[in-house]
Amino acid sequence: MAQPEKPAILFVCSGNICRSPLAEGVFAHLAGEAGRGDDFLLDSAGIGNWHAGERADPRSRATAKRHGFDIDHQRARQIRPADFDRFSLILGMDFNNVTALKRLGGHSPKAEIALFSDYTLGRHEEVPDPYYDEDDGFETVYHMLLAGCQSLLSKL
């Protein structure tokens, strides 16, 4: 008998160095703590390719480390057409991300595309881009992602 497919979740932001790698790391950390680390296929990507191949923003990496997990291994990448067939759930961090995702892959019968906070918490709000903020912006984003990822993990 075939094994059921793992839920495949892709977190997406603009450049894949701030919000989406942190979201991937938060969810992976929570799943691991719950003994469910192998239950999911996780990744993150950016709408643009400005940072392709780069590590996450140092402030995202520092935020992750402060909260007990490491995202140093992640490398930024741009979303690809194949992602819309590979992932069953694609979560954009802001309204522009979701609009771009629907334009790029809204035809996919497999991928559900949604705003992160809408899908996870039932709140129609963006996860703000902390790139131009001070370090406290990353901490604020972490707490938003933590609440959303806790909710998402409980739903899956």
- pTM over cut 0.75: yes
Exposure pattern of 57-82 as b/e (b: 16+ CB <10 Å)? bebbbebbeeeebebeebebbbbeee
Give the percent of the chain with pLDDT over 70: 96
CA pair distance 92, 98, nearest whole angstrom: 5
CA pair distance 133, 131, nearest whole angstrom: 6
| Residue 136's pLDDT band (cuts 50, 70, 90) | confident
Q: Contact at 8 Å (CB) between 21 and 71? A: yes
Q: Where are the beta strands (DSSP E) in 57-101?
A: 89-92
Helices (H), 9-155: 19-33, 58-66, 83-86, 95-105, 116-121, 135-155
Tokens representing residue 130 in the block: 């902390």
Q: Tell me the per-residue pLDDT of 96-127, one tens digit each, with 9 for 90 and over.
A: 999 999 999 877 778 999 999 999 999 999 99
| Residue 61's pLDDT band (cuts 50, 70, 90) | very high
Active site positions, annotated: 13, 19, 129
- Report phi then psi at 151, rounded to 5: -65, -45
Q: What is the mean pLDDT of the chain?
A: 94
Q: Tell me what pLDDT residue 1 has.
A: 46
Q: What CA–CA distances, in Å, run from 110 to 26, 84, 88?
A: 24, 7, 6
**Residue positions counted in the chain:** 156
Q: Assess if CATH 2.60.120.620 describes domain 25-155.
A: no
